[in-house]
Amino acid sequence: MPIVTVRYFAHARDPAGCAEEAVEMPDRVDVDAVRSLLGARHPALQRVLPACRVAHNLDFLRGEVELADGDELALIPPVSGG
Amino acid sequence: MPIVTVRYFAHARDPAGCAEEAVEMPDRVDVDAVRSLLGARHPALQRVLPACRVAHNLDFLRGEVELADGDELALIPPVSGG
Amino acid sequence: MALVRASLHVVDHPLTAEATSPAALVGPTDGAIASFLGVVRDHHHGQAVRSLRYECYVPMAEHQLERIAEAVGAELGEQPLVVSVWHGYGEMVPGDVSLAVHCASPHRVAAFDACRAVVEAIKADLPIWKEERYADGSARWLKGS
Amino acid sequence: MALVRASLHVVDHPLTAEATSPAALVGPTDGAIASFLGVVRDHHHGQAVRSLRYECYVPMAEHQLERIAEAVGAELGEQPLVVSVWHGYGEMVPGDVSLAVHCASPHRVAAFDACRAVVEAIKADLPIWKEERYADGSARWLKGS
């Protein structure tokens, strides 16, 4: 199974306890699968997960994606730029 | 009858033959009356008059207005600022 | 009143950095500044434009800018609005800036709406006329925009 | 293609005049430049804001800006579009400029529409988060805008 880098930002970082970590992931995931896996790994994240989008290699993840070693996933809480 | 200054701009100036002139006007006028009077005074203006608005003392004339000596009227051809 | 401050200018030359930059409106109370610049183009309906001249009925233009700022401010209801407008006239060449509109408000929708409304009102009602001179030697007063 | 040129910047400081002025987009082919500045406000929902920090997922923000510029350019159809975007992150105080968007096109409707669409897309999709620090000592991550 691929090992990917997972990044946590803003109000997702404190509950995750880190800004990034290496995580072993299934070969194929969708947004719900990523949320479930990260929520199981860091129960404190579960409160913010429903509002978070997931990014895969700098694009928002839509549908399913095949993961490879070294890929980057990120939890994207509601943004507030501008 | 009041004597007012009439100003001509852009493509109304050449047919009027001048940039401004003093004109004796009725006590009360509306846009149609101004157009008729100026068209009779300068027949070459008649081609452009239907497209021109009229300004009275720096505001667009709507409805009727009472004129006084020294008032300013202007023919405003279609504008193209910006 | 929605219109907090208006700074309105009609000047006899192409606009300079003082006019084109929104910097003068930047401050801690307004979160959004929407701006518009009108720039002299080198083509119009396929004809190469060499230069142009804006004629302006200056006192009426200044008065109409006040009317426009007040009307747009009133349309915004309770949203505070700061407006800065500069319109140049006289001789210009392609690349010169003829119009600058800056609208500041606490929120972006009000700033955008106000800026667009001011520009549309200027295009409709400001007594300014553009005479284009083309590369083939001809010249023409534009009618509308 | 409608997108002629995009100049996209994510920088770790408040924006300076180079970013906030539309001057870099002024040229003889585009008659209209619409701009937007986002400015740090000293109040938010009635609370006095003392300072704030923007956190940014920089490589994703840069990539998303490219996506946004391409998508907005495509929406304009045949109208050519030049886009310049600057977003700052890090520590800021009220009055600092955090966002500058400039859109140039031959005609004003395309420039206005593009500028607004870019700003809305940035508000929706740019991975940047604002943490406000209030005068009473508390701090809060903003959710949405």
The pLDDT tens digits for A1-26 are: 999 999 999 999 999 999 999 999 99
Mean of pLDDT over chain C: 94
Neighbours of C26 (CB within 10 A): 19
Structure tokens at B22: 């003093």
Q: Are C129 and C54 in contact (CB under 8 A)?
A: yes
Residues of C in CB contact (< 8 Å) with D are 17, 20-23, 26-43, 94-95, 97, 106, 108, 111-112, 115-116, 119
Residue for token digits 């409709």? C124
User: Is the pLDDT at A58 greater than 60, yes or no?
Assistant: yes
- Between chain A and chain B, are at least 3 CB pairs below 8 A? no
Q: What is the DSSP letter of A47?
A: G
User: Is the pLDDT at D44 greater than 80, yes or no?
Assistant: yes
Which of B55, B58, B79 lies nearest to residue C129, judging by beta carbons? B79
Query: Which residues in chain B touch residue C57, judged by CB atoms under 8 angstroms apart?
Result: 7, 9, 55, 74, 76
Q: What does each C-alpha distance from C56 to A63, B60, C27, C61 come to in angstroms?
A: 59, 15, 32, 7
Query: Which residues in chain D touch residue A55, judged by CB atoms under 8 angstroms apart?
Result: 57, 60, 127
Which chains border A (3 or more CB–CB pairs < 8 Å)? D
Which chains border D (3 or more CB–CB pairs < 8 Å)? A, C
According to DSSP, the β-strands at A65-66 and A28-29 are antiparallel
Q: Are C102 and C84 in contact (CB under 8 A)?
A: yes
User: Is the pLDDT at A74 greater than 60, yes or no?
Assistant: yes
Candidates A5, A7, A11; CA nearest to A51 is A11
User: Is the pLDDT at D1 greater than 70, yes or no?
Assistant: no
Chain D closest-CA separation from residue A77 CA (Å):
8
pLDDT given at position D107: 93
Mark yes or no for CB contact B79/C60 under 8 Å.
Answer: no
For A69, counting Cβ atoms within 10 Å of its Cβ (0-12 exposed, 13-18 middle, 19+ buried), the class is exposed
> Which of C 76-135 lie inside 8 A of B, CB atoms?
87, 98-99, 119, 122-131
Give tens-digit pLDDT for B4-44. Answer: 999 999 999 999 999 999 999 999 999 999 999 999 999 99
Give tens-digit pLDDT for D12-36. Answer: 999 999 999 999 999 999 999 999 9
pLDDT given at position C143: 73
Mark yes or no for CB contact C21/D26 under 8 Å.
Answer: no
- Please tell me whether residue D138 adopts helix, strand or coil conformation: coil
Q: Are C55 and C3 in contact (CB under 8 A)?
A: no
Res. C137 pLDDT band, cuts 50 70 90: confident
- Phi, then psi, of C37 in degrees rounded to 5: -115, 135
Candidates C90, C113, C91, C87; CA nearest to C101 is C87
User: Is the pLDDT at D144 greater than 70, yes or no?
Assistant: no
pLDDT over 90 percentage in chain C: 83
pLDDT given at position D137: 86
Q: Quick check: B82 contacting C, CB < 8 Å?
A: yes
pLDDT given at position C145: 53
d(C-alpha C11, C-alpha C31), whole Å = 29
Residue type present at position C54: Y
Give tens-digit pLDDT for D47-99. Answer: 899 999 999 999 999 999 999 999 999 998 888 999 999 999 999 999 999 99
pLDDT given at position D145: 53
Give tens-digit pLDDT for C10-46. Answer: 999 999 999 999 999 999 999 999 999 999 999 888 8
Query: Which residues in chain A touch residue D64, judged by CB atoms under 8 angstroms apart?
Result: 58
d(C-alpha A80, C-alpha A36), whole Å = 25
Candidates C134, C130, C110; CA nearest to C122 is C130
Torsion of CA D50, D8, C120, C75, to 10 degrees: -20
As for the ipTM of the complex, it is 0.95
d(C-alpha D4, C-alpha D25), whole Å = 12
pLDDT given at position C1: 47
Which chains border C (3 or more CB–CB pairs < 8 Å)? B, D
Q: Are D32 and D108 in contact (CB under 8 A)?
A: yes
- Please tell me whether residue C19 adopts helix, strand or coil conformation: helix
Mark yes or no for CB contact A81/D126 under 8 Å.
Answer: yes
Structure tokens at B76: 């405003």
Give tens-digit pLDDT for C88-123. Answer: 999 999 999 999 999 999 999 999 999 999 999 999
Which of C20, C33, C116 lies nearest to residue D37, judging by beta carbons? C33
Structure tokens at C127: 């007594």
Q: What does each C-alpha distance from A30 to A52, A62, D64, D124, D145 come to in angstroms?
A: 13, 7, 20, 21, 27
Mean of pLDDT over chain D: 94
pLDDT over 90 percentage in chain B: 100
Q: Are C108 and B61 in contact (CB under 8 A)?
A: no
d(C-alpha D124, C-alpha B21), whole Å = 59
Q: Are A57 and A71 in contact (CB under 8 A)?
A: yes
Structure tokens at C49: 């434009």
Res. C135 pLDDT band, cuts 50 70 90: confident
pTM: 0.95
Residue type present at position C99: L
Q: Are C64 and C118 in contact (CB under 8 A)?
A: no
d(C-alpha D73, C-alpha C144), whole Å = 27
Q: What does each C-alpha distance from C125 to B55, C117, D90 come to in angstroms?
A: 11, 12, 44
Give tens-digit pLDDT for A33-42. Answer: 999 999 999 9
- Phi, then psi, of A44 in degrees rounded to 5: -65, -20
The mean pLDDT value for C37-57 works out to 93
d(C-alpha B57, C-alpha C63), whole Å = 10
